[in-house]
Amino acid sequence: MDTPLQKYYHQRVQNIFNSLHNFELSGSEPSLHDVRIELKKLRAVIRFLRKVYHRQTLKRSARLVNHIFQAAGEIRAFQILQEWLKRWELPAIEQQFFSEGRVHYLTENFNQKSTDFKADIKEAIEQITPYVQGTNSILCEQYLLSLQTEIELLLHKNASTTEWHDLRKLMKQWLYANNWIEDAAKSEKLLSTYAFYNKLQEAIGQWHDIMMVQEMFERKQLHLSDDVEVQKDLSIGKEKMHQQLKQKQKWVIELIEQSMNAPSTNLHHQGNHITNGNGVHS
């Protein structure tokens, strides 16, 4: 009988090829979202395996999958920017600096590499599968606890804004890793922690999206434009960014403050160390 990790992994293998095929056919935002989600979940498994086994082959698998994820992420970043520009009606900036043509170009470029991407994923899967098949469920539970320790350390020291993105990545890894342990090993406290972490990582994600828009504005050096309409849009855009960042940041800070009273993870198997395939703690 398959372990929870094996079931999760096999579902990823199936879904990732289906999602890539759907994106090839439609190039739609929802289909890109599905591609990125499946890549994130596969990356989470690889990250865990690398923590346990420290094998060079897993490093190559991570590099292959990360390359595809970054290509998809570039398209998604542009989509987020376009949604933001349309929401606040900033046509001069959109038309002159961030036109929809760029999204179409990135999408076509991604799909032209689809055959290579699929080959890379197949290679990664061939390298990963034996490790997934040989991994004891206890290692997944230990890993969940080690992630919990890292997260709590950041929360209890009141993580600064420069640490929020890393905090979010740890939380998402923890959320994914919950799928790799038996239901019998989960407690009410763990389920409560799951809901809290999911809420906090979502809040950080919304804050990070606005930060990303701000960075893309800065890279284009919009303030140097001598176009009056661009400068009008830029003035409005800066005001909206400031308001949104202030609001999102306040929400994240409030949630982090609440974390002092948030329940800790409780698994039936205790311990914070992860034992690798050689019986060595890492």
The per-residue pLDDT for range 114-138, each reduced to its tens digit, is 999 999 999 999 999 999 999 999 9
- The average pLDDT across 36-49 equals 97
- The average pLDDT across 197-206 equals 97
Residues above pLDDT 90, as percent of the chain:
83
Structure tokens of 34? Answer: 């599905």
Alpha-carbon torsion (97, 161, 246, 263), positive or negative: positive
pLDDT band at 261 (very low <50, low <70, confident <90, very high): low
Q: How confident is the prediction for the chain on average, in pLDDT?
A: 91
> What's this model's pTM, rounded to 2 decimal places?
0.89
Check residue 187 and give its pLDDT.
80
Please classify residue 238 by burial: count the beta carbons closer than 10 Å to its beta carbon, then call 0-12 exposed, 13-18 middle and 19+ buried.
middle
Helix (H, G, I), strand (E, B) or coil at 98: coil
Check residue 277 and give its pLDDT.
52
Q: Which amino acid is at 189?
A: K
User: Is the separation of the CB atoms in 220 and 177 below 8 Å?
Assistant: no
User: Is the separation of the CB atoms in 158 and 262 below 8 Å?
Assistant: no
Check residue 57 and give its pLDDT.
86
HSE-CB at 210 with a 13 A cutoff on CA atoms is: 20
Check residue 26 and give its pLDDT.
93
- The average pLDDT across 215-220 equals 96
- The average pLDDT across 88-115 equals 95
- The average pLDDT across 221-233 equals 95
Place of tokens 């990790």: 5
Which residues partner with 275 through β-bridges?
281
pLDDT band at 1 (very low <50, low <70, confident <90, very high): confident
CA distance 104 to 107: 5
Q: Other CB atoms closer than 10 Å to residue 204's CB: what's the count?
A: 26
Q: Which amino acid is at 259?
A: S
- The average pLDDT across 246-260 equals 93
- The average pLDDT across 186-198 equals 88
CA distance 5 to 19: 21
Alpha helices by DSSP H, listed for the chain, are 4-26, 29-53, 56-87, 91-97, 100-112, 114-133, 137-156, 161-177, 188-220, 228-258
